[in-house]
Structure 1
Amino acid sequence: MFNRKNLARLAGVGAAASMALGLFSTGAANADTFIPLPGGEITKTLSDGTVVTVRLVGESATISPSMGATPIHRNAWASASAQVEIAGGEKVGGKIYPGYVVGCQVNIDGGGAEGGASADIDGSSGEVSPSGEVGGDLTLGPGQAKSFYVLDIEKPDDYGDEDHATNNKFKGNSGSVTWSDQTIGVNGCGGYAQARSFVRVKVETDQVMSVVTLWGQPFSLG
């Protein structure tokens, strides 16, 4: 049975709980924030009938207060696994190019798995095309977006000189790349910042060579 004393007591408990939540929220603002992401999947049939399926699984990001400790700095770590399956072809193989697009005060949410990002960095198509840049330490101003590849594999070229590859090459009907705690650092962005993963796959058969691109879900860097 509720009376005035009970109601007052409940009001006091509610106020204390609100204060506690406020304290927890303040602490959370200074802690890492884990973001689970849905990944994605796309299937494309090539002109010779070969079926290519690209998946992005186990995707997540951890947003951390920047070591720069200013509003223009962002810092995150991203993890995921890119998986490719090929059916219906002979003597097939391919290359997997995983990476991220990062934007400052710009919409990088495209229209579907092949839609890309609706920000112009190449001055032509209005889409952010994956570039050859490697490494996630980027300097961005408002309205800018850049892309980078996750992999930087050192290997000798045909002449024995040092070469760097941004892809994982595979032979046969399947291949994969897994990365953990890939750094995404943004400097110079005074507004909101976002990032979005992509997996670009070049597939080659006896009859055709094609590119399939899967885009992940955009996530906020703060």
Structure 2
Amino acid sequence: MNINRKNGVRLAAVGAAAAATMGFFSVGAANADTFIPLPGGSITQTLADGTVVHVNLTDESANVSPSMGSTPLHRNVWVNGKASVHLEGAGATGADIQPGYVLACQVDFGAEAGGEAGSAPVVNADGTVSVPVDGGTSAGVTLGPGEAVSVDILDLEAADAYGGESHSAYNSFEGTDGSVTWADSTLGVSGCAGYAQARSYVNVSVETDNVSSTVTLWGQPFSIG
């Protein structure tokens, strides 16, 4: 399965479920898109030093479309969502927000949204995905049946210390509140002859004087054909 990504990302660093249902709208009788509203989710974790991390995923949806290849091996997915973070505690000075999606071919995600603190990327031995597997922002990743890849939504450009260009998959904020919004970010999947699924995640990395930890929130899995 080859996975390609194009981004249409809007960022907002600001102060501050229900089961998914499917709807259909036509862009031509032969190529109907499938619109999937998603419930998002939330998680609260208390770190070892007492810092409380609240993560919310809202306004989440996906639009699944047959690609221009017009074969069962090709799928395009446009995704939308907003990740918001609120920190509590004397040591809370900011965090990094890294949203992304796991795309998989013939892998069972399970059915529930949820999250963990200090999660690490892994595909379980039984074929389920509990945390995003390694994938980064590289396009053209090839996967066989039973494999999965994580794809970062953000690709933020900034000048590095030497005047060159650096890229980042996370949005940093200072203080106790931050958020990031993405709209019509496109994920292209090709080469998967079996069923394919996707699932959003939000990694929030928090570092205080006494602790460094990552809290992961999972969205609800959805079919991409």
Whether 2:174 is the aligned partner of 1:165: answer: no
Whether 2:204 is the aligned partner of 1:221: answer: no
TM score, norm. by length of structure 1: 0.78
Deviation at residue 120 of structure 1 after TM alignment: 4.7
Identify the range of structure 1 (49-58 vs 91-100) with the bigger mean alpha-carbon deviation: 91-100
**Equivalents in 2 of 1:192, 1:64: separation in Å?**
14
TM score, norm. by length of structure 2: 0.77
- Contact 1:136–1:183 (Cα < 8 Å) also in 2: no
- Contact 1:139–1:187 (Cα < 8 Å) also in 2: no
Q: 1:148 aligns with which of 141, 144, 151?
A: 151
Q: Could you say which structure has the larger radius of gyration?
A: 1
Identify the range of structure 1 (135-144 vs 72-81) with the bigger mean alpha-carbon deviation: 135-144
User: In the alignment, which residue of structure 1 is the partner of 2:123?
Assistant: 119
Opposite residue 115 of structure 2, the aligned amino acid is: E
Whether 2:207 is the aligned partner of 1:204: answer: yes
Deviation at residue 172 of structure 1 after TM alignment: 0.3
User: In the alignment, which residue of structure 2 is the partner of 1:95?
Assistant: 96
Deviation at residue 134 of structure 1 after TM alignment: 1.3
Give the structure with the higher percent strand: 2
The answer for unaligned runs of 5 or more in structure 2 is 1-24
Matched residues, number: 195
**Equivalents in 2 of 1:213, 1:60: separation in Å?**
19
Residues 56-110 of structure 1: per-residue CA shift (max 9 Å, x gap)? 0000000112111111111110000000000123351110000000110111237
Residues 24-56 of structure 1: per-residue CA shift (max 9 Å, x gap)? 99x767311110000000000111111100000
User: In the alignment, which residue of structure 2 is the partner of 1:85?
Assistant: 86
User: In the alignment, which residue of structure 2 is the partner of 1:74?
Assistant: 75
- Contact 2:94–2:206 (Cα < 8 Å) also in 1: yes
Q: 1:176 aligns with which of 176, 179, 182?
A: 179
Deviation at residue 142 of structure 1 after TM alignment: 1.6
- Contact 1:91–1:206 (Cα < 8 Å) also in 2: no
| Aligned-residue RMSD, C-alpha | 2.7
Opposite residue 214 of structure 1, the aligned amino acid is: L
Percent identity of paired positions between Structure 1 and Structure 2:
56
Deviation at residue 136 of structure 1 after TM alignment: 6.8
User: In the alignment, which residue of structure 2 is the partner of 1:55?
Assistant: 56
SS of the residue corresponding to residue 114 of structure 1 reads strand
Deviation at residue 131 of structure 1 after TM alignment: 3.3
**Equivalents in 2 of 1:211, 1:31: separation in Å?**
39
- Structure with the larger RCO, 1 or 2 (CA within 8 Å, 6+ apart): 2
Query: 1:181-192 residue pairs with structure 2 within 5 A?
Result: 181-192=184-195
Identify the range of structure 1 (105-114 vs 190-199) with the bigger mean alpha-carbon deviation: 105-114
